[in-house]
Structure 1
Amino acid sequence: MIEHWNLVFRALSAEPRRQLIVSLLDCPENQSVPLPEGAINPDVPENPERLKIDLQHNHLPKLADFGFIEWETKPLVAHRGPRFQEVAVVFEALHSSATDIPDSLVKGCQRLEEERQVSLGN
């Protein structure tokens, strides 16, 4: 059981993977999400070409290995995998308690992202 939680949190440890799960939650269950668009956080835009490479070589295989998504290359899309609900439930729980998340955590994440953007020269 603990190993399942470790897999879920490992899968959600990178922003593009989190954003992809959110995008899949926002679309009908049997529909796919176009990539890289579906993995871009609108508040934290990334270079789409670089993200596309990172998705194909890192993020998508990791999520697929865990069974959370399935993906195709032509066109590059992702859809819910057989174990999607294991990661979806984390976002559903966070969404249902959004008002309980401390401002320091939300603002801390925003500050870290702003610092990252400055270091990247954006």
Structure 2
Amino acid sequence: MTLDPSEEQDWAERWDQLYEALSAEPRRMIISSLLDEPQERRLPLPDVAESPNQPKDAEILSIQLRHHHLPLLAEAGYVRWEDEPFVVQRGPRFEEPAFIIELVTDSIDELPASLIRNCKIFQDRVKND
């Protein structure tokens, strides 16, 4: 089977886009927060992007979300967001980052200790299991 070069590039770009989307903790927190929510449910920002690992001023985080994190997630189709009220919900391609987050979460017992150490989110999950 021969792949059309444009399809091959699209495939590679989609993976790159997924890794970039999950490379920042506020974006991972947003995807994690939406995992158990129905498609139409809108969650309040910046609350769902906050992390116990990186306490930030809510106003600074809101600015970072509006100008960097949310546009990146929305462009990929992972989320939809609104400014007034400041909320986020699942996008049409939400299942892509959701799969990776769920895979990591479900495999927490297999993660190297170096990835759990000092990560308050994973430490809490390990304690609860």
TM-score by length of 2: 0.79
User: Per the alignment, in what secondary structure is the counterpart of residue 79 of structure 1?
Assistant: strand
Structure 2 residue aligned with 1:28 = 38
Distance (Å, rounded) in 1 between the aligned partners of 2:54 and 2:67:
21
Q: CA RMSD in A?
A: 1.3
Is residue 2:76 matched to residue 1:70?
no
Deviation at 1:29, TM superposition (A): 3.0
Amino acid aligned to 1:24:
L
Larger Rg: 2
Structure 1 residue aligned with 2:112 = 102
Q: State the aligned residue count.
A: 109
User: Per the alignment, in what secondary structure is the counterpart of residue 35 of structure 2?
Assistant: helix
Is residue 2:68 matched to residue 1:58?
yes
Distance (Å, rounded) in 2 between the aligned partners of 1:40 and 1:3:
28
Displaced runs of 4+ in structure 1, greater than 3 A? none
Amino acid aligned to 1:40:
E
Deviation at 1:45, TM superposition (A): 1.8
Q: Which runs of 5+ in 1 are unaligned?
A: 111-122
Structure 2 residue aligned with 1:2 = 12
Amino acid aligned to 1:52:
S
Is residue 2:94 matched to residue 1:84?
yes
User: Per the alignment, in what secondary structure is the counterpart of residue 89 of structure 2?
Assistant: strand
Deviation at 1:37, TM superposition (A): 0.4
Deviation at 1:40, TM superposition (A): 0.2
Q: Which runs of 5+ in 2 are unaligned?
A: 1-10, 120-129
Distance (Å, rounded) in 2 between the aligned partners of 1:73 and 1:56:
8
Deviation at 1:33, TM superposition (A): 1.1
